[in-house]
Amino acid sequence: MKIALIGYGKMGKMIESIALDRNHEIVLVIDQANAQDLTIENLQKADVAIEFSTPQTVLQNLETAIKAKVPLIVGTTGWYGHLQEVKDNCISTGSTVMYGSNFSVGVNIFFQINQQVAKMMNKFSDQYDVGMEEIHHIHKLDSPSGTAITIAEDIIHEFDHKNEWVDVKSDDPVTNHKPEHLIIESYREGEVPGTHAVIYDSDVDRIELKHIAHGRQGFALGAVIAAEWLKDKSGFYSVKEMYDFKA
């Protein structure tokens, strides 16, 4: 498979290494310094493109890939406020896009567990309050993480008494906490690749669900597997549609 990499930072470099190990070819590498080379003509040399750039540049890159009609995996987070317009653009032009706040199989299993547990805990919401924590490296540009937002939205979907998530930074103490708010405490520490926890706390005990990434390999491998899956499809997909966890 011929792959175009859009964004050649920490994730782009790891994706390159995993893609080469899986016998794919990298035919285009775009980063900030050569962003002008992201043209329709150059993109069309690839079978699929994988985008891990920045929240500031992803929408422009998406637009170009959609025009080029090259199937695109989007790992960049921090742009989901524009999801509907990108989806409409993708579908109306007959292009192919898959987005995901997290491509790793472990986190996608965690998403499923989270939904099941939230459904169960909603029945005990008179006894347990639910909150979240996420920890990432200090270079991360968005907060809370896209993965944390997916987890939070899945909880809110199941919980009758939660209607909105609220981001609280580690240096910004929790204030004006309304019971209907789902608090996400975001911590930025060292080089932490990504830790997410969902906490159910009552007067008598505490239940924690936690995913700890040991590195970025899981995210990168998931993105390459997603590109292999997407290559011959058309339409607009979430990574959740790729993983089938039915027993």
| Among 127, 10, 168, 122, residue whose Cα is nearest residue 75 | 10
Return the residues of window 13-52 that contact ligand NAD according to CB under 6 A. Answer: 30-32, 35, 52
Part of the chain binding ligand NAD (CB under 6 A), chosen from 100-108, 127-135, 158-166, 173-181: 100-108
Task: Pick from 8, 111, 165, 200 the residue near ligand NAD by CB under 6 A.
Answer: 8
Q: Please count the other Cβ atoms lying within 10 Å of the Cβ belonging to residue 197.
A: 17
Determine if 98 is a binding residue for ligand NAD (CB under 6 A): no
Q: Are 68 and 44 in contact (CB under 8 A)?
A: yes
Going residue by residue from 130 to 169, which x/- string records binding to ligand NAD, judged by CB under 6 A?
Answer: ------------x---------------------------
Going residue by residue from 73 to 92, which x/- string records binding to ligand NAD, judged by CB under 6 A?
Answer: --xxxx--------------
Looking at 10, 13, 140, 231, which residue is catalytic? 140
Determine if 10 is a binding residue for ligand NAD (CB under 6 A): yes
Residue for token pair 């422009």: 60
The encoded tokens of residue 24 equal: 């794919």
Determine if 11 is a binding residue for ligand NAD (CB under 6 A): yes
Count, residues near ligand NAD per rule CB under 6 A? 27
Active site residue 140: yes
Determine if 188 is a binding residue for ligand NAD (CB under 6 A): no
194 assigned binding-site residue: no
CB of 92 to ligand NAD, least distance (A): 24
Q: Which residue's Cβ has the minimum distance to ligand NAD?
A: 9
Give the E-state strand segments of 176-227 in sequence order. 181-188, 195-201, 206-212
Task: Check residue 162 and give left, alpha or beta (phi > 0: left; psi -120 to 50: alpha).
Answer: beta
Phi (first) and psi of residue 201, to 5 degrees: -120, 135
21 assigned binding-site residue: no
Residues 6+ apart with CB under 8 A from 83: 99
Looking at 24, 136, 162, 211, which residue is catalytic? 136
Active site residue 136: yes
Q: What does the H/E/C string look like for 35-102?
A: HHHCCHHHHCCCCEEEECCCCCCHHHHHHHHHHHCCCEEECCCCCHHHHHHHHHHHHHCCCEEEECCC
Residues 6+ apart with CB under 8 A from 205: none
Name the residues that contact ligand NAD, by CB under 6 A: 6-12, 30-32, 35, 52-55, 57, 61, 75-78, 100-103, 142, 219
Q: Which residues are catalytic?
A: 136, 140
Specify binding-site residues for (S)-2,3,4,5-tetrahydrodipicolinate: 137, 146-147
